[in-house]
Amino acid sequence: MITKNKILPTLMFSFLLSQGAFSATTDSSYILVTPDCLINKFDAPYQTLSHNKNFSLIKLNVENFTKLIGVRNSQKTLCGGFINVTDAYNSSHFSNENSALFLEKYIPKTSISKKQFNYGINHTKEVNQLLALLNPDEMWKNLTKLSSYTDRYANSDTGLGAARWIKSQVEQIAKDNGRTDVTTSIINTGTSYKQPSVVVKIGNSTKPAVVVGAHMDTLSSFWGNMPGADDDGTGSVTVLELARVLLSSSMHFQKPIYLIWYSAEEEGLVGSQYVVAEFKKDNIPVEEVIHFDMTGYTPNNDKTMWLLSDNTDKELTSYLELLINTYIKKPLKYTKCGYACSDHATWTNNGYKAAIAFEAEDGKYNPYIHTSQDTMSQLSLEHMTDFTKLAIAFTGELADPVS
């Protein structure tokens, strides 16, 4: 999640940059799409390339990029974050004169669904079979591993190691269960980051796919360990446990299932931009997307599950409510997180049906994220398990089990 309430230290910026803690472009500048509610609070120099509908396309140097992160993280009111479009803008060779065309692609659309789906509960038997395979102890063990890295920063060796570990885990699960219908791959995060996104395809169908994802990266650990247990170790573990459940079952599906661990979410949704671009380039049809970013913190032990209502597909989000009421039976409420708060927004901006479930109301989520205190001691395994149940129900219903 990139909309946080902790300010990054900036006093050691020059040294951090020299150590590779930030990834600069060839001209040491970033191109960002920012909402006005964010940029209006920013008093450092930047160049406005275009403005439209309360959003700006801006260019700023690397030092001021870190300052903008500080502004983003210190917000007290709902606003959101920014999208780092540096690579996309530069590779498109846009000039200042036609930057408005570029910016238009990143302005939230009022309606996402191109057609109506009659979502329902159609596979209760199969979903319950899958739910019976869920193992919370396995989730806790995997979260212990992920949060043991000093960081999972997208431009660090440990971030690369975390991606390799996730990929190897899925490959081992597939091997142990004799599954030959599993493909694992990576999608590089441009040339600025060491950590790639990890993509797993289950099934050989070419029908429109179901996508389940989470981001695996954290901030740099230079100013202190960044275990990222909740942000987003919890979401990453949810997707990994979903992989284990699906592959250890004997169940097959009419639709392909893609499980994705995104890189560089903390840098402005960079990894998911490369993933979605690859899907579009390869003409991979996608019907529904669900994203999990922070699922383990329970303020005042409140086990309510929250659904985000902004920058998501309304119909698909309503379906998540039906799934929760049917299979999990926990209280649920709606909240908002603002612009570009996590990787689901990348899918939404590209016209896909995307939804996201979240641990708490905006402003009441885990206060320890982006610090060395984002540890497992702050988390509820029961809450994590509930969101994993949602991932299983979502996949089991929408991927159409073969009877």
First CA to last CA across the chain, in angstroms? 38
| pLDDT at 74 (0 to 100) | 78
Q: Which residue, chain included where needed, has tokens 């160049």?
A: 47
DSSP 24-92: --TTSEEEEEEEHHHHTT--S--EEEEEETTEEEEEEEHHHHHHHHHHHHT--SS-B--EE-HHHHHHH
Q: How far apart are CA 254 and CA 256, in angstroms?
A: 7
Structure tokens at 343: 């990787």
Q: Contact at 8 Å (CB) between 313 and 238? A: no
| pLDDT at 184 (0 to 100) | 98
| pLDDT at 21 (0 to 100) | 47
Question: What sign does the CA torsion over 266, 75, 212, 273 have?
Answer: negative
DSSP 8-state code for residue 115: S
| pLDDT at 92 (0 to 100) | 78
- 3-class secondary-structure state, position 6: coil
- Asked if residue 43 has a cis previous peptide bond (ω within 30° of 0), the answer is no
| pLDDT at 118 (0 to 100) | 82
Q: With cut-offs at 50, 70 and 90, classify the pLDDT of residue 76.
A: confident
Q: How far apart are CA 302 and CA 196, in angstroms?
A: 35
| pLDDT at 97 (0 to 100) | 65
Question: What sign does the CA torsion over 106, 256, 231, 188 have?
Answer: negative
| pLDDT at 287 (0 to 100) | 97
Q: What is the pLDDT of residues 10-48, one digit of tens each?
A: 434 433 443 344 454 445 799 999 999 999 999 999 999
Which domains occur in the chain, in start order? 13-104 (no CATH), 124-398 (3.40.630.10)
- 3-class secondary-structure state, position 141: helix
Instruction: Work out the percent of the chain whose per-residue pLDDT is above 70.
Output: 91
Q: What is the pLDDT of residues 189-216, one digit of tens each?
A: 999 899 999 999 999 999 999 999 999 9
- CA 231-233-234 angle, 5° bins: 90
Q: Which amino acid is at 267?
A: E
| pLDDT at 20 (0 to 100) | 45
Comparing 100-109, 146-155, 224-233, 322-331, the range with the smallest average pLDDT is: 100-109
| pLDDT at 13 (0 to 100) | 41
Q: What is the pLDDT of residues 229-257, one digit of tens each?
A: 999 999 999 999 999 999 999 899 999 99
| pLDDT at 8 (0 to 100) | 42
Higher pLDDT, 305 or 14: 305
Comparing 164-168, 325-329, 363-367, the range with the smallest average pLDDT is: 363-367
pTM, full prediction: 0.93
| pLDDT at 222 (0 to 100) | 87
Q: Is 184 exposed, middle or buried (0-12, 13-18, 19+ CB in 10 A)?
A: middle
Q: With 80 as the cut, is the pLDDT of residue 258 above it? A: yes
| pLDDT at 72 (0 to 100) | 84
Q: With cut-offs at 50, 70 and 90, classify the pLDDT of residue 126.
A: very high
Q: Contact at 8 Å (CB) between 146 and 233? A: yes
Q: Contact at 8 Å (CB) between 153 and 222? A: no
Q: How far apart are CA 257 and CA 286, in angstroms?
A: 10
| pLDDT at 116 (0 to 100) | 66
Instruction: Work out the percent of the chain whose per-residue pLDDT is above 90.
Output: 82
Q: What is the pLDDT of residues 145-194, one digit of tens each?
A: 999 999 999 999 999 999 999 999 999 999 999 999 999 999 999 998 99
**Residue 176 forms beta bridges with which residues?**
none
- 3-class secondary-structure state, position 7: coil
Task: Give the burial string for 222-258 (b: 16+ CB within 10 Å, else e).
Answer: beebbbbbbbbbbbbbbbbbbbbbbbbbebbbebbbb
Question: What sign does the CA torsion over 350, 355, 361, 367 have?
Answer: negative
Average pLDDT, the chain: 91
Higher pLDDT, 2 or 361: 361
**How far is the CA of 288 from the CAs of 122, 131, 239, 322, 398, in angstroms?**
16, 20, 15, 15, 8
What mean pLDDT is predicted for residues 309-328?
97
DSSP 255-298: S-EEEEEES-STTTSHHHHHHHHHHHHTT--EEEEEEE------
